Structure 1
Amino acid sequence: MKENGKIRLGISIGDFNGIGCEVALKTFEDARMLDFCTPVIFASNKIISQQKSDLDLNMNFNGVRDASQSIDGKINVVNVWKENPKIEFGQATEEGGRFAIKSLRAAVTALKNDKIDILVTAPINKNNIQSEDFKFPGHTDFLAQELNGESLMFMVTDSLRVGLLTDHIAVKDVAQAITPKLIRDKVLTMEKSLKMDFGIRRPKIALLGINPHSGDNGTIGEEDDKILKPTIQEMFNKGTMVYGPYSADSFFGSNSHSNFDAVLAAYHDQGLIPFKTLSFGKGVNYTAGLEKVRTSPDHGTAYEIAGKGQADASSFKEAVFTALQVFKSREDYTTWNKNPLQKQKTKRAS
C-alpha cells in the first residue's frame, strides 16, 4: 500500500472465455468501488478492451507496465503479455488456460513483492490450466507453494464459515488422507485465522465426521472413533475450542452451525454443498493461513452464460470486500499484539 494511498487490490482474470473478466469489470463499473481500493488487473489492454466492448460495459481504465505505477481512483491494467489471444466465450481452450496462468503468476509475483496488497482471483478451469509448468488442481495448492504458511480452503460469509480438512482429492482417498497431524494443522490454522482475520478472540470450531452418523460407534467405519475423537479431545484439553465429530447429514439442517464460529468439513462436497446451498452468490472462497490475503468468488467459469452479459457480480464484489476486511483486521491484530498497554485496557474493559 502506498503511503497515504488506498489498498491495492490485484485481480487475476481467470479464464477469459468464462465470466471472470465480466464479474471483475462489472464490480468496478460502479465508480463508488474505487473509494475502497485501487484495482490492479493483470492481463493486457487489448483483452480488457475487447471484453469491455463485447459486454457493453461503460468504464475507462489506465494501462501500466508495472503494478507499482497504478493510480488511485482508476481501474489499472498491468500489461502482462503483448500477444492478442482469441476470446472464444463458452469454450475451454488451451489458450484460455495458458493466459489464465500467466495472469495468476504475474499477480502472485506482484503480491509477493508488495506491489499489491491483496489478491482476488477470477475463476479458472482446472483442466485447461494443466501443463508441464503448472500441475496443480487449483488456486489453493499453487498459492500454498508460493506464499508462506499452512493453507486452508475457507468458504466464508458474514454468518457462515466452512473450512475443509481435505479439498481437491478423490472421495475414495479421503479417509486415508485424514490423520491426527492433518486435523491438528487445519484446526490450528482455522483458529488462528478466526482470531487474526475475523477478530474473534475465543473461536469455537465444529468438526464434521468422516462417515455417515460419524461412524455410529464403529458400525459404519472406525475413522471417527479412532482418529477424529481422540485428536479433538487432545486439542480441547490443550485449550483449543474444537468440538465433534458431528454427523454431517443433519448438522446444517438443524441450524447447529449457528452455535459455532466456523465448521471444519472432512471433504470437499461435505462442506461446499451446504455452504453454497445456504449462501450461493454471496459466498467467498478465502485461502486462510498464508502470509498474504487471497479471496475468490464461490462460483466457476460459468461457460454457459459467458459473453452474454448475464453474470452476477455479487460474489466477486463480496470477495473484494472480504479481502479488504481481512487485510484491515490483520493490521488491527498486529497493532493490538504489539501494544501490551492496549491489551491491558481491553482486559480491564471486559
Structure 2
Amino acid sequence: MKKAENIIIGISIGDLNGIGSEVVLKTFEDSRMLELCTPVIFANVKILSFAKKSLDAEMQLHGIDGLDQIITGKINVLNVWKESVNIEYGVNDENVGKYAIKSFVAATKALKEGLVDVLVTAPVNKYNIQAEDFKFPGHTDYLDQELEGDALMFMVQDNLRVGLITDHIPVNEVSSHLTEALIKKKIETIQKSLIQDFSINKPRIAVLGLNPHAGDGGVIGKEDDEIIKPVIKKMFESGTLVFGPYPADGFFGSNQYEKYDAVIATYHDQGLIPFKTLSFGNGVNYTAGLNKIRTSPDHGTAYDIAGKGVADHNSFKEAVYLAIDIYHSRNEYQIISQNPLKIKEKQL
C-alpha cells in the first residue's frame, strides 16, 4: 500500500533511440525523488538496464510483470514487452516507434483505470509512431480521445503559463479554425485549470491577437476585431477576468505577461517560441482540461545527443514535480469544493 503523500507516477519511455531513457534515469538517480513519488516506467527492464549501464548509473531497477507488483520507494519497470529491441541511438527507426506507442498506450490505460495516479511522457518522434492502430499527431490527441474532457496544450514554467487556441495545424489554416465557440472553450478550460490545478481563485488571463498589432483596427486583418474581441468582451462581462487581444510582438519582451496568470496564444509558434526562450529548458508541457493528469518535458527526442550521456534532464524532472503538484492541488480543490466553509476560509 502506497503512502498518501507518495503518488504513483506512470512513465511512458518515448523513443528508445532518443534521450528519453537517459532523462528518466537521471531524474530518479537522485534517491530523494523516491520520497515524493514511486515511478513505474512502462518499457522493458533489460532495455532500461542497458541504458543505465551506458550512463554508469548506480540506481536499482525493480522489474515487474504486473502493476500489482509495484513496490513503493523503488524504480519500478513494467515489462510491457519481453522481446529484445535493437537500440541505435540517434536513428529514426519505425520499429522503435512501435515500442514507444506500446509503452504510451499501456501507460494511458493504467492512468485511465486509476492504477497510476499521473502520467509523465518521454518524447516521441511524431513520424515513426504512425501506424494503422495509431494515427495521431502525438500524445495529446490520443489522450483527448481516451480520457474525459477537452485537451489543451498548456506550457508551464513557474508563474509563466502559455496555452494555445490551436496547436498542431498548418499556419495557413489557423484563421479558419478560430471560431467564437473554440476561443470560448479554450478560455474556459484554462480558467478551470488555473483554479483547480494551480490553486488560483480569480485567475487573470491574457489573449494574444492573431494578426500583427492585433489587426490594427482591421487594417491588418479582421479576425481580431470580428472574432476574438467579441468573445473576450462577452466573457469579461459575465465575470471571467480575460483581457485582450494584445499585439503578440511586444507582449513578452515588455514583461507584460507577468501581470497575468496565463497567456493564450492563437497558434503554436506564437506561444511556444517566447515560452521556450524564457523558460531556459525548464519548461513543462501540461495537458490541461482532462480528468487525468499528464505532463511531459518541453523538448523532443534530441537524436543529435542521444546516447552521449549529456542530455539535460531538468525539464523531465520539472514535469514530474508539476504532475505531483497538480495532483495535490486537484485533491485539495475537490475537498474544498465539497465544503463551502473551506472555500470561504481560503478566500479570507
Taking structure 2 as the reference length, the TM-score comes to 0.98
Shift of 1:137: 0.8
CA distance in 2, matches of 1:250, 1:68: 52
CA drift of 1:5 comes to 6.6
What is the rounded CA distance, in whole Å, between the counterparts of 2:332 and 2:339 in structure 1? 11
Give the whole-Å Cα distance in 2 for the aligned partners of 1:336 and 1:205. 23
User: How far 1:4 sits from its partner (Å)?
Assistant: 4.4
* Correspondence for 1:84: 84
What residue identity is the alignment partner of 1:195?
I
Matches within 5 A, 1:259-270: 259-270=259-270
For residue 115 of structure 1, give the secondary structure of its aligned residue in structure 2.
Answer: coil
Q: After the TM superposition, which residues 205-224 of structure 1 pair with which residues of structure 2 at under 5 Å, given as runs?
A: 205-224=205-224
CA distance in 2: counterparts of 1:23 and 1:63, whole angstroms: 19
5 Å-filtered alignment, 1:320-339, equals 320-339=320-339
Structure 1 stretches of 5 or more lacking a match?
A: none
Partner of 1:145: 145
Any conservation in 1 of the 2:2–2:72 contact (CA below 8 Å)?
Answer: no
Asked if structure 1 preserves the Cα contact closer than 8 Å seen for 2:29 and 2:58, the reply is yes
In the alignment, residue 15 of structure 2 is paired with which amino acid? D
1:280·1:298 contact (CA, 8 Å) conserved in 2? no
What is the rounded CA distance, in whole Å, between the counterparts of 2:175 and 2:222 in structure 1? 10
Alpha-carbon distance, 1:248 to partner? 0.3
Structure 1 residue 342: Cα displacement: 1.7
Alignment of 1:208-247 (within 5 A): 208-247=208-247
C-alpha contact 1:38 1:75 (8 A) present in aligned 2: yes
Moved more, 50-59 or 102-111: 50-59
Q: Deviations over 1:310-336 (max 9, x none)?
A: 001100000000000000000000000
Distance in 2, matches of 1:190 and 1:83, equals 42
**Letter aligned with residue 18 of structure 2:** G
Which residue does the alignment assign to 2:191?
191
CA–CA separation in structure 2 for the residues paired with 1:344 and 1:201: 11
What residue number does 2:252 align with? 252
Q: Deviations over 1:85-127 (max 9, x none)?
A: 1001001100121000000000000101111000000000010
User: What residue identity is the alignment partner of 2:341?
Assistant: L
Give the 3 Å change call, closer, same or farther, for CA 100–271 of structure 1 in structure 2.
Answer: same
Question: Is contact 2:297-2:318 (8 Å) kept?
Answer: yes
Q: What secondary structure is seen at the aligned counterpart in 2 of 1:88? A: coil
1:305 aligns with 2:313: no
- CA distance in structure 1 between the partners assigned to 2:161 and 2:171 by the alignment: 22
2:120–2:323 Cα contact (<8 Å) kept = yes
Question: Which structure 1 residue ranges, 4+ long, deviate > 3 Å from structure 2?
Answer: 1-5, 344-347
Question: SS in structure 2 opposite 1:151?
Answer: strand
Equivalent residue of 1:97, what SS?
helix
CA contact (8 A) 1:7 1:117 kept: yes
Q: Which residue of 2 aligns with 1:109?
A: 109
2:59 alignment partner in structure 1: 59
Does the alignment pair 1:163 with 2:163? yes
Q: Secondary structure at the match of 1:42?
A: strand
> Are the structure 2 counterparts of residues 170 and 28 from structure 1 closer, same or farther at C-alpha, using a change threshold of 3 Å?
same
The equivalent of 1:123 in structure 2 is 123
Whole-Å separation in 2 of the counterparts to 1:278 and 1:265: 15
Asked if 2 retains the 8 angstrom alpha-carbon contact of 1:205 and 1:241, the reply is yes
| Deviation per residue, 1:47-86 (Å, 9 max, x gap) | 1111111222221111111223210111000000011110
Partners of 1:3 and 1:262 in 2: CA distance: 33
CA offsets per residue over residues 248-283 of structure 1, 9 Å max, x none?
000000100001000000000000000000003110
Inter-partner Cα distance in structure 2 for 1:280 and 1:127: 26
The one-letter code matched in structure 1 to 2:33 is M
Over residues 121-144 of structure 1, what are the superposed CA-to-partner deviations in whole Å (9 max), with x where a residue is unaligned? 000001000111111111111111
Amino acid across the alignment from 1:298: D
What code does the residue aligned with 2:263 have? V
Give the match for residue 22 of structure 1: 22
Aligned-partner Cα distance in 2 for 1:233–1:5: 42
How well do the aligned residues superpose, as a CA RMSD in angstroms?
1.1
Which whole-Å CA distance do the structure 1 matches of 2:68 and 2:298 have between them? 29
> Which one-letter code corresponds to 2:228 in the other structure?
L
State the AA in 1 paired with 2:49.
S
User: 2:76 is matched by which residue type in structure 1?
Assistant: N
Contact 2:124–2:301 (CA under 8 A) maintained in structure 1: yes
Give the deviation of 1:157 after TM superposition: 1.0
Distance 2:35 2:126 in 1: 34
For structure 1, which segment, 61-70 or 269-278, has the greater mean C-alpha deviation from structure 2 after superposition?
61-70
Q: Gaps spanning 5+ residues in structure 2: where?
A: none
**Distance in 2 (alpha carbons) for counterparts of 1:114 and 1:184:** 30
SS in 2 for 1:98: helix
Kindly, what percent of the aligned residue pairs are identical?
61
- Asked if structure 2 preserves the Cα contact closer than 8 Å seen for 1:63 and 1:77, the reply is yes
Decide which moves more: 130-139 or 184-193: 130-139
Q: Deviations over 1:198-255 (max 9, x none)?
A: 0000000000001111111111111111000001101111111110000000000010
- Residue 345 of structure 1: how far off its partner (Å): 3.2
